[in-house]
Structure 1
Amino acid sequence: MSTLDQLTVAPEDTVLYDVRADGVAVLTLNRPGRRNAWGYDMETRYFALLDEAAADPAVRVIVVTGAGGTFCPGMDMDILRRASTDPTYQRPARRPQTHARTVPKPVAAAVDGACAGIGFVQALMADLRFTTARAKWTPSFTRLALTSEDAVSWLLPRLVGAGHAADLLLSCRVVRGDEAARLGLANRCVEPDDLLPAALAWAADVARGCAPWALAQVKNQLSLDMTSTLEESRLRSNELLTVARERPDYAEGVASFRERRAPRFEGLPVDHPPVELAGRGR
């Protein structure tokens, strides 16, 4: 089997999956021999595991990271070479790269090393990002004579502002992790040895102390309110509050505060709907 053929099959070791006792699922991009370069096999496996985590009531928060001290340097060069030189090359059918945004559970990315191209895209699709000062972030699109991909030109200005987004997307310069945190591209910059522990600590705190149903609704609100008016957001939040106050989780949350104990919230049901992406259907 050729290297390119291998990159279209989805062996289980391309993305590792571990569900911890604290309700955190860890997805690890795992092709260290190729620095976790993205292939269609990895993509298929990654999205399938996101679906598995979304459907598992025991999973409350998801953390995605990369093996071998790097996140993902972009699409595998064998795929890029074939796609750019072979007129007969056909890309496989793919799911939207925004898929992580539809998962009704918090997704945090722990980014070290290279984070470029489609690796940059997938880091942005997480709800928040932890990084290190040595990490190298770049969209890389224009340096490959490509346009902005997968709604990055929509999402990036909302994360870092229009001016910084224009800088990053036009120049596609490399941004170190400490600058990424200053720009708002990353939420927190920590030492390399503290990267995964910091992401896992945040995830464990949310998994332990926050109601899964409420987390799913807030993630949906964050998505829909990006293209809503202030009044639309207010009305939607009031409707959701009416529902939330009638749920057992609300009584449990209040009781846990009064009794000074950890809450015992219900897990998200298997059939909970995905997050609605902003602007869909408009």
Structure 2
Amino acid sequence: MAYTDILYDVTDAVAAVTLNRPDRLNAWTATMEDEVRDAMAQAAGDDGVRVIILTGAGRGFCAGADMDLLNTIQGGGARRGPPGAFDATARPDYQMQYGYFPALPKPVIAAVNGPAAGLGMIMALYCDLRFAADNAMFTTAFSRRGLIAEHGVSWLLPRLVGPSRAIDLMFSARKVGAAEAERIGLVDRVLPAADLLAETRAYAAELATMVSPRSLKVMKRQLWDAQFQTLAEATAVGNREMMDSFRSADFREGVAHFMEKRPPRFTGT
């Protein structure tokens, strides 16, 4: 697929998916939706990619749905139905229109470089980690557009910030700066705007070179699935996965590089 609304590149085992409508603060379009989905599938299937970064071009991450799209819906235009399952083998929870990031077998890190509003904020929440520029801003936006908690945000947001804070952010749709976002657990790190992408890439590169990709794949699935499991179920899965890990090439390499005091050469098997 030739991309028009995003950029895609792979450097040192890190894929960067960049929303690329900077003149519109990377407002979300149907084309962007298709292209992000395609790029994520490309990164997931590329053995040369171990970590994915999602970010925005220019001074914004994503201002939410493009107003032209909202006007079309308001005027009675057809709203696109959800696409087919991103991964038909994944649990149904990860087969929704925007909720497929948990089905990706690799970590996805949001580098939030500016405003993340509405659907743009939701896309950041579906990432596994969120690093934000110190001038980033977040808003759910929905209540101020006469809309509701779309695309699973009513499930995601309370798990990150707690129920009452989620209620505040959803009801008021107020703007939350980077410092508050970090304090309440909405983002994991706040970095100087000028350093955001470099620091995010450095973290991603450490995962790509120093950590077993097999471990990352299994742990990501465990952590997302655990939210639907009892403690006993999560423990049973962990015990089974640990036995499988003992038989893996990455476990043998993990022990060998530690004993030999050298950088690891993980293969993901």
Q: TM-score, normalised by structure 2?
A: 0.92
Letter of the 1:120 counterpart: M
**Residues 39-188 of structure 1: pairs in structure 2 closer than 5 A:** 39-84=29-74, 86-87=75-76, 89-95=77-83, 96-188=97-189
Of 4, 29, 43, 1:13 maps to 4
The 1-side partners of 2:214 and 2:246 are apart by: 12
SS at match of 1:13: coil
Name structure 1 gaps, 5 residues minimum.
1-9, 269-282
Partner of 2:202: 201
Higher mean C-alpha displacement, 91-100 vs 217-226: 91-100
Partner of 2:87: none
Partner of 2:88: none
> Deviations along 1:175-226, whole A, 9 cap, x unmatched?
0111111110000011101111111111000010111111111010011111
Q: Is the 8 A contact 2:250 2:268 kept in 1?
A: no
Higher mean C-alpha displacement, 95-104 vs 201-210: 95-104
Letter of the 1:251 counterpart: R
The 2-side partners of 1:29 and 1:94 are apart by: 20
Structure with the larger RCO, 1 or 2 (CA within 8 Å, 6+ apart): 1
1:81 positional shift: 1.3
1:93 positional shift: 3.0
1:166 positional shift: 1.1
Partner of 2:218: 217
> Deviations along 1:154-177, whole A, 9 cap, x unmatched?
111111111211111111111011
**Residues 243-258 of structure 1: pairs in structure 2 closer than 5 A:** 243-258=244-259
SS at match of 2:167: helix
Partner of 1:32: 22
Q: Is the 8 A contact 1:14 1:41 kept in 2?
A: yes
1:104 positional shift: 0.8
Q: Is the 8 A contact 1:73 1:117 kept in 2?
A: yes
- Deviating above 6 A after TM superposition, structure 1's stretches of 4 or more consecutive aligned residues are none
Partner of 2:237: 236
The 2-side partners of 1:35 and 1:157 are apart by: 27
Partner of 1:6: none
**Count of residues in Structure 1 that have an aligned counterpart in Structure 2:** 256
Name structure 2 gaps, 5 residues minimum.
84-96
The 2-side partners of 1:134 and 1:41 are apart by: 28
SS at match of 2:62: coil
> Deviations along 1:13-48, whole A, 9 cap, x unmatched?
31101100x210011000112221100000100010
Q: TM-score, normalised by structure 1?
A: 0.88
Partner of 1:275: none
Letter of the 2:156 counterpart: L
> Deviations along 1:113-157, whole A, 9 cap, x unmatched?
210011001000100101122211011111111110111111111
The 1-side partners of 2:239 and 2:22 are apart by: 48
Letter of the 2:51 counterpart: V
Letter of the 1:97 counterpart: Y
SS at match of 1:226: helix
